[in-house]
Structure formats: C-alpha cells, structure tokens
Structure 1
Amino acid sequence: MPVEAFIDISEKEQCEELREYMLGLGAPIPPSPTDNYVTDLQQIISVCDIIFKVEKEPEVEMVLNSIVSVLLLVDATQPEASALTASFCDQLAKAPTQRLAAISFRVLQNLFNGQSQNVQLRYRVYLTIVRLCTLSGQIRLVYNNLSQIKKWFPVDAIGAEKIQSLLRLLHSILMENKQPEMASKVMVELLTTYTEDNASQAREDAHKCIVSAIADPHTFLMDYLLTLKPVKFLEGESIHELLTIFVTENLTAYLDFYKQNSNLITETLGLSHEANMKKMRLLTFMQMAETKKELPYADIQKELQLSPDQVEIFIIEVLKTKLVKAHIDQANRKVVVSCTMHRTFGRAQWQQLRDTLNKCAHNMSGVQQTLYKHAIQFEHMHG
C-alpha cells in the first residue's frame, strides 16, 4: 500500500518540511536541521504526538504517513531503524481518543506493510497495533487466526519469548473485546510454546487458561488441556483437580469439591458456582449418554439433582448445544440417544473410530462389488 507524503522530495527536504510543521504547532524541537536526516527524523518523531492536537483528522493522518514514508527509507539493518520504529510506535500509542486511535492504527498498518522484509521491526509495530485495538476496537482487522501470526512471526526468527509476549497480549485484548473462543485458542497456543524445562514459568498463564476454559459457556471438551506441559506442572494443586473434574468426573464430584473449596472457586478464581453447576450437569448428561442409549427421566433427575419439572427443560437446553443428538419420549418419560460427543478422546475412542471407518470401508467395498455385478449383467443383456 503506497504511503502518502507532503510532496515528492528527498528525505532530507521532507524532514525539513516536517520540522517546520512541528515547530508551527509549538513542538519543543530545535529550529535548525542537522546534516543527517536520520537525526532529524529522530527529533521529529520524539514530538510527533503533538499532531493529535490538530482538529482536522485528514491532516493528522497525512502528516503521520509522511513520517512513515521517511522512516521506511532508513536502512532496516541499522540500529537506528529499530530505535526510530520503537519511538514512533510509542508516540502513536498515545492517541487520546477512539478516532485518533483509529488513525494511528491505519498509519501503523502502512508501516507494518512497508517493513515486510524485517520481522523484528514488524513485530514491534504489530505489538502497538494490537494495543491500539483496546481503544480503536478493531481487533478483527488485526487477528483472524493463529496460522497468520505464525507466518508473520516464525519462532526461529524472533524467539520464543517474544512469541509468548505477543500471544499473552493477544489473549488479553481478545478477552477485553469479548472474544473468549479466539482468546482460548491463543492461550492454548501460548502454553504449547513451553517445554518441560520452563513449564514452571507459565504458571500464571496455565491458571488463566484453565479458568477461561471452565468459565466459557461454549467450551465443553477440555481434555486436551491436561496434555499441556504448563498444566501438567500444576498436578497436585486444587486448580488441576478442578480441571480434571470438568474433564472426567460428574456433578456429584464437583459438588464435593465445591464444599471444600468454595472460596477458591468464587473468590480466588472468580468463577460462578451456578455457571459451573450448569456446565457440569451437561457434561454429566453427556457421560450418561455415552454408556446408555435410553435414559429414564428418573435417572436424569437423580444424577443431575433436578426437580421433576426441570428435567425436560434441561434436556431441551442440552439438545440446543448439539453435543448430544436425541429425542424425548414423553409417553415413556425417557430420552432416546442417537449419538453424543465424547468428553475425552482416548484409546477407546480411537478404537471406536477405527472400527467405524473399517465398517464404512467394508460397506463401500460391498456397494462397489454389487455395482460391478450389475454392470456386467447389463452388458451381457444389451451386448
């Protein structure tokens, strides 16, 4: 994307124009240029946040883009490029209003696109763009999926620590912008970047990951979290026990845990006991549906600790999630299950999947042989 400039002149002349403009706004900058345009640019950038005082927004954007056009001329391999980029990002991050933050957002996108050959500089710019999302509310323009992030910022190019900082920031911004599902995926990706040697350093992140998964009303399958090294590091702690209950246990187990750890759940972790109950009832029902295809109302009422008039309402809510496919037999007061999502996917589930695929392959082979026989018969009849 081309970047706007004042006029088509040399970088030194453009810096002189920018200096005069900043001086006109009252910026505390030396009145005379130096012999080095990079030094001039450094001085201009150090006061460029004064542009936010200008009432005409198109003018604000034009001036900032002019700075970008000069900044992109600085050799990206030189130390000055990193310092100038960081300083410019810091200045634009000062945007005081949503509209000005949106302008800073667009200007930094131009800088990001212009630095396509330097991963380190792009990383610094992207961090600021993400931070601006809090005010500009444009997170969807910054983050769509993890594959794009991995393409932009390979771990071997910028290092694991920087990737972790970026993912941690993205998780925070996504949560602030009420995108829990996307935030959860980012957090899981963050935890996968840790090894057994440094898993202990991700203790706080692992806590956030577990709490987010339990709190998210749309997340029901959490067994994969137990395989993450930072989560494994928490084995023996109450929060790990709570996660295990949501992965493998039933409502009774949760209620027993809650009796002993109510302060942990509601105060320390900030979870809702009522929301946890609702999720555990659904997970318990899924567990029941895995072993029985017909579930009497009485069994559901007992296992899920419901009143008689709550059973059908609960079943309807379960069917809305599409985690369980079933129909209600009101006459016989039971639920007939056709299929259910498994809460965990272990050896037994892989075996079941293999058997299903083998059966499907066998059936397809039978269909193929039947069609072949019919084709031969047709050929003989009409040959």
Structure 2
Amino acid sequence: MQGPAVFMDISLEDQALELRKYFKSLGAEISEEKSPKGVEDDLHKIVGVCDVCFKEPSESDIEAILNSIVSIMVSIPLERGENLITAFSQRLAKAPGPRLAMIALQSFWRLYNNLEPNSTLRYHVYYHVIELAARVGAVREVFTGVDQLRKEFASCPPSNEQMQKLYRLLHQVLKDNNSELAAKVMIELLGTYTDENASSAREDAIKCIVTALADPKTFLLDPLLNLKPVKFLEGELIHDLLNIFVSENLSSYLAFYKNHKEFVHSQGLNHEQNVKKMRILSFMQMAEYNPVLLFDDITSELQIETQDVEAFIIEVLKTRLVRARIDQAQRVVKVSSTMHRTFGQTQWEQLRKALIEWRLNLTETQEAMNSVTAAQIEYAAQQKA
C-alpha cells in the first residue's frame, strides 16, 4: 500500500493533487485528476473521502494527512467554507476508537487556531470542535467558561441565533458531567433573549431552571427570577417550584411534591436530592435571622433526627455558604455568618448600613492613629529640648 505523501515546498495545487492520489491508493472513490474548478473544489472532493485515512496503521501518518488538509483550508479563500467545515467534521467524527478520535479533534482544533481572528468561519469550526470534543470527553480542553468564549469571538462576534445554538450545544454536552458550568451556560443563553422574543424561549428557560435545581453546588437561585424568559413562566408549575427553592422552606417543597410528584419526576429531578438541597437552603434561612439555633428547632424544621444534626451541619459547612460551630453541651449551633438566599432591597440596605459603619470605624481609627502620632512627635520634640 502506498504511504502518505509528504507535502513540503510544493504548491497548494500540487499538494491537493498528491492528496487525491493518496486517497485513491487507499481505495477512496476520488479521481486522481485536478479539478478544473480550482483548489477549493479539489478540497471538497478530498474532504469527502478523508475518513479513509483511518485505515492507516500509523497514527502519525493519519495526523500528517489531516494536517495537510488543514494547511490547504487555511491557505485559500473559501466561498463554500461553512459546507466544507461541516463535511470535514462529519468525516472526522467517523474516527474509530478514542485515540484516533483525539487525533481528529486535534487536527480540527489546529484548523480553528490557524484561522484569522476576524474569520466568520471560526464560529462554525468551534461549534464542530465542541461536538468532536464531546465524543472523547475533552470538552473542558477547549471550553473553560463563558468569559473565555466571549474572548474567542471578540474580533468577529457571531449572530445572536448562532450563539444561542452554541450555548444549547454546550449545555447538552456539559449537563451530565459538569452541571455547574452547564447552568452558567444556560443562564448566558437566556440572557441573549430580549423583551421581544423572550416568550419564544420557554424550553430553554425550563432547562435552565431544571439544571440549576439539579446542580448540587448551586444554591443561590434568586438571579434566575430576573431573566426575561423565566418571567414568562410565571403561573406554571416549574416557576412555582423555582420560587420554593428561592425563598421558601422544606415543608413548602414537600407539600408541592405531594401534589405534583409526576411533574417533578417528568422534569428529570431527583426527589431525594431536592430534599437535601432544600434542607440546606432552609437552614441558611434560619441562620440568617438566628445566630444561635437550637437542636430541637433544627430537627423540627428540617425533619431530621437529633443524632443526624452534626452530620448535616458538616454537609452545610462544606458548601462554604455558612460558617458555624456545634456546641454539643448546650445542644446548639452557633452561626458566625451566612449567605443570603435572596438579595433584595432589604439586603442592599443592610449592606449599605454595614459599609457606613465600616467607614465610620476607619475614620475613628485614623483619627486615633493621628492622635498617637502627634503625641509621639510632641514627646520626641520635648525630649530633644
């Protein structure tokens, strides 16, 4: 079998011709003749059969061939670039096994990084990069967060519809193994809707709520209520459930679940996990207004046994939302600080009051230090005299 050609110091036309011959030698349905329409047409024909290279026994040869195709792609203007990229992605997705799939991903990622920052094709390549990365469990290798995503497309922002499509894909590939990041992506997606089209985002809004509720690390849910698409869900059961997690207690959730069991399960939510999260949220609410909590109050409000209080408090402390310590002798939990479940007008006023007091304390401390400094200077002067 003919080995892969090495494309060094030859024109793009000759490079395309050598690729045609190479794939023909592997049994691909492709002509060895150049296309009269030019290199781009050659490239379309080559991409159409490029998955044949996965027959090669050498991984380095496969990588070299794919990189040769990439080198032509980034060297010529592409009139049908979006179609070509989609076709290339579909062929690379046929790579058998995780090792070859990773080689395919690396080649596609190389294509992305070699396109000009202002190229409109970068979006299409990135979208398919995420699809390929999901196949090999490497999404976090190419996507680290929404801030990074904004930087990627700063020079050539995609359309609103394109970003919505990308956010949906990212949510889909992240939701099962990184629910926290998936929730952030979905919030970004909902933020792309305006007053005019928010009503059309119903499905996205429901996914956003469900993802946030299911995420064991997400406890501050109040911001979701301000998203326009979520507001359009007012009056629906999913919005009622969100409100319970935002501001109500465990008893409220249990009453909701009793009346709407089928609905909760139909959303893919786990009742036991919901109860666990609502216990923590209810405790946060109790701690917000009571720096010292009796064991009896905790067991009653959270519906747990006395012997389970210590283990529960340890779970709460792991969230870092509450700082507290257990006093077994007095059978109380002493709270030093807690995060607010909601942050409304009352909390802003409390923050304003705390900042004013902090500023006054700083002023008093500064005045005291000035007095001490002046006294020291006066004393030193007297000693000199």
TM-score (norm. length: structure 2): 0.93
**2:301 alignment partner, SS class:** helix
Decide whether the 8 Å contact of 2:118 with 2:156 is kept in 1: no
Deviations 1:175-232 (A, max 9, x none): 24x1111111111111111112212222111111111111111111100111111111
Partner of 2:116: 116
The CA deviation at 1:163 is: 0.1
Partner of 1:132: 132
Q: Write the distance in 2 (CA, Å) between the matches of 1:88 and 1:44.
A: 9
Partner of 1:14: 15
**1:158 alignment partner, SS class:** coil
Q: Write the distance in 1 (CA, Å) between the matches of 2:33 and 2:20.
A: 8
The CA deviation at 1:9 is: 0.6
Partner of 1:205: 204
TM-score (norm. length: structure 1): 0.94
Counterpart amino acid of residue 320 in structure 1: K
Given the alignment of the two structures, is residue 100 of structure 1 paired with residue 100 of structure 2, yes or no?
A: yes
5+ unaligned residues in a row in structure 2: which ranges?
Answer: none
Distance 1:83 1:308, change over 3 A: closer
Partner of 1:296: 294
Partner of 2:283: 285
Q: Write the distance in 1 (CA, Å) between the matches of 2:220 and 2:116.
A: 38
Decide whether the 8 Å contact of 2:118 with 2:155 is kept in 1: no
**1:295 alignment partner, SS class:** strand
**2:324 alignment partner, SS class:** strand
Decide whether the 8 Å contact of 1:97 with 1:135 is kept in 2: no
**1:157 alignment partner, SS class:** coil
Decide whether the 8 Å contact of 2:108 with 2:125 is kept in 1: yes
The CA deviation at 1:316 is: 2.7
The CA deviation at 1:315 is: 2.3
Partner of 2:77: 75
The CA deviation at 1:112 is: 0.6
Count of residue pairs the alignment pairs up:
376
The CA deviation at 1:155 is: 10
Q: Write the distance in 2 (CA, Å) between the matches of 1:107 and 1:203.
A: 37
Moved more, 221-230 or 202-211: 202-211
Q: Write the distance in 1 (CA, Å) between the matches of 2:41 and 2:314.
A: 69
1:24-103 → structure 2 map (5 Å cutoff):
24-35=25-36, 36-76=38-78, 79-103=79-103
Q: Write the distance in 2 (CA, Å) between the matches of 1:155 and 1:241.
A: 41
Distance 1:37 1:322, change over 3 A: closer
Decide whether the 8 Å contact of 1:119 with 1:153 is kept in 2: no
Decide whether the 8 Å contact of 1:119 with 1:158 is kept in 2: no
The CA deviation at 1:375 is: 1.5
Moved more, 149-158 or 325-334: 149-158
Partner of 1:231: 230
Q: Write the distance in 1 (CA, Å) between the matches of 2:32 and 2:331.
A: 87
1:296-375 → structure 2 map (5 Å cutoff):
296-375=294-373
The CA deviation at 1:154 is: 4.9
**2:9 alignment partner, SS class:** coil
Distance 1:156 1:192, change over 3 A: farther
**2:283 alignment partner, SS class:** helix
Q: Write the distance in 2 (CA, Å) between the matches of 1:156 and 1:26.
A: 40
Decide whether the 8 Å contact of 2:287 with 2:338 is kept in 1: yes
Q: Write the distance in 1 (CA, Å) between the matches of 2:15 and 2:69.
A: 9
The CA deviation at 1:310 is: 2.3
Deviations 1:15-41 (A, max 9, x none): 111111011101101232133222222
Distance 1:49 1:315, change over 3 A: same
Q: Write the distance in 2 (CA, Å) between the matches of 1:263 and 1:130.
A: 34
Counterpart amino acid of residue 139 in structure 1: V
5+ unaligned residues in a row in structure 1: which ranges?
Answer: none
